[in-house]
Structure 1
Amino acid sequence: MDQKQLLQSRLTSTQILVLGFAVTILIGACLLSLPVATESGQGLPFIDALFTATSAVCVTGLVVVDTATTFNTFGEVVILLLIQVGGLGFMTFGTFFAYLVGKKIGFRERLVLRETFNQFNMQGVVNLVLKVLKITFIIEGIGFVLLSVRFVPEFGLEKGLYFSLFHSISSFNSAGFDLFGEKEAFSSITHYVEDPWINLVVSSLVILGGIGFVVILELLHYRKTKRISLHSKIVLTMTGILIVMGMLVILVVEWANPKTLGGLSFQGKIMASFFHSVTPRSGGYNTLSLGDMYSATLFFTVLLMFVGASPSSTGGGIKTTTLATILLSVWSMIRGRDDVIAYKRRIPHGLVYKALTVTVAATTLVILDTMLLTITEQTDLLTAGFETVSAFGTVGLTMGLTPTLSVPGKVIVLLTMFAGRLGPLTIAFAIAHSQKQPPYRYPEDRPLIG
């Protein structure tokens, strides 16, 4: 056994997944720090390059330097590639290239793919990867064509097509990176706050990227199978509830705010509310100024960002199915039932424990990092909490703190993005040594609860 085989034999699938993302980030940081990647030709400080690469691979969109004015075409293409690799997972592309050259996909590779797409078993996982790539390129291609309808007349053929490609990939992968910024005298896509075409295309790409590939495949095959799994039912239900609830809250709270919805037409208010209900689900774009929103809206946005997208998607957060499982378990407890039921199906207790563990781990991480940011950046709790949850949910929305982060603050936020993209449990499993169940059980006792 050579050194490479020995190394592989000692690494679990979760460790390979974590190390793979880390190596991808480091490669991206090295490329972005090169003088050839920046407009000035002077290179970028490594900490800023590392932050940008982490944000791209973790499909977050938080930036410490303006993407449009800092990077040239080479740097922007590197970011775009990092977004695509980060959104789908490095093993997805590795499997695709191995498939093209006829190389057999081994057991270990299938294990990593199972972790990447959060599957319960390895059966059909390679076929799933090929379908995911096909779906991704089709949806991004459609987004590219639809966005070019607006961008080509506005920016010209070459620049319009380039902008359409970049923002289609960024939107579907829930990255939130944009090429407008200071170069076009407006940030994110605030210029299109009342443009129904841009609002609907971008939000549709974000929603499709956020519901997950498993759900998309089931919807595509529904006419043939006439079957929707419990997972897809929960994802679609929670996605709809969160979008409608978020839209109504934002619409009601911000209706008369002269700096956000107050100055818009009725149609503009509806579109902006809908868009800002969708984008905290890992989208990262904004058409309204976050700094001018009321505190109630910002706090509710934090809650939406914490939930994030759905499993096997390009987004972060604790995921919609996790929230649904916890809410259903609480409802079962209130009704005095032992089983957690959804759509006449019983959810195993093991999954309920996992959902609770994910939520507690995520909450602990967010609280700790928020406290650290209030110390390192000397900022208020809401601003620090907003930035932390945005990083954990791989959303990319900011109240303006990210561009002014100190070096310790940048390290805290980039580590939070990394944990949010992979999931706190995945990182914990990668660090901890797997232990077998002991061959005995301790006697039961009952502490008082509540």
Structure 2
Amino acid sequence: MGSSEFQSPPVIKARGLPYFTPANNGGAALNPQDPSTPTLFRPLQIRGVTLKNRIMVAPMCTYSTNSDPSSPAVGALTDFHIAHLGHLASKGVGLVIIEATAVQANGRISPNDSGLWQEGTDSEQFKGLQRVVNFIHSQGAKVAIQLAHAGRKASTVAPWLSWEGKKGSIRADETVGGWPSNVVGPSGGEEHKWAPGDVKFWAPRELSTSEVEEVVQAFARSAKIAAQAGIDVIEIHGAHGYLIHEFLSPVTNMRTDKYGGSFENRIRIVQEVAAAIRATIPAGMPLFLRISATEWLEGQPAAEKTGSWDMESSAQLAKLLPELGIDFLDVSSGGNHKEQKLEPHTNYQIDLAAQLRKVIQQAGQKTLVGAVGLITEAEAAGKIVQGADEAVATEELLAGQEPKADAVLLARQFLREPEWVITAARKLGVPISFPVQFARGLL
């Protein structure tokens, strides 16, 4: 792509930083309202936040924080996260979602996970988050944080340690900052380990009703802290076999109190977490929810007696999202049981997103939907969202090209190709703005 197809912004100092860097806004289409501009590069309005394009960085755990439980910096984001996430922001993404960030210390997947349970703007967790947020904003991107609790999949070592001659995760004990006696879930005991009988995970203990209520409030506290640090969007992690997903699924939730049993009881934690967060964040701040649309357990022994969380369950939940104040459904799948029968292919999760988007629209609702999983090519990403913009929807629908989602989320592809947005613009013929410091690369 020639340099004439890019435009560098005026050199104005970015706000919120103690040093000079231009206020960049790479990745923004120069003519977003032009009918020829693909939906992928059109702005997306979500409550009071406008994204410059429909391309998001999906949350990716990097296991790169201080793991010493006695350190005030435990769980705090570091310069690594500024370099990693800030680079993606500088290369033009619309929204960066910070990796799964635990709302309680025992909610981390590993001792090296990000956390946001320390209260106060003088905490190391707050200061680390604010530095990352300020830099991402300086590059013209919006920033979200995925708030999470790992539940029964907590207190494991970082993956690269488990790769050393072993298969899968291995348990983190106290010698490496783990918390084996405080791994929790909706149900407890050896039979509720991720893989019963093995030595790769700790057996969870069952949360009491009052402890579940404390978890709900922990999500709200973390959301409030995140908003104070300048976060634009909150995402609730309800997927991949972590705590909220464990409550949703009849496979892992054997409770007899108000949080177990019926569908209505199992989704109660989502309702309460969403309500508690919505009550603490600004009215204009978007709230996302990531779910595993299906556990891929249909017909498997684990689900014979109880059933599982499947597409029907997700469709039922999706129609309740507007009343919960949730604006965006981030559609993933799997992760809650070792018996899952999952065969990933190019559209395996995009099709799930499309089905849920149709359910939402048929219900007359406006919840936005995000597609994630094996999205690598610009043309494919463009087709997923093309026509989702109301301004062009009629034309696209008449052409038989119904959109499958309103935005795309990429993860591993950004690890392989940090400049993916720039490459996508080139392939789709979209003139975009470009960061000042990188402009020479176009000459």
TM-score by length of 2: 0.30
Structure richer in strand, relative to its length: 2
TM-score by length of 1: 0.30
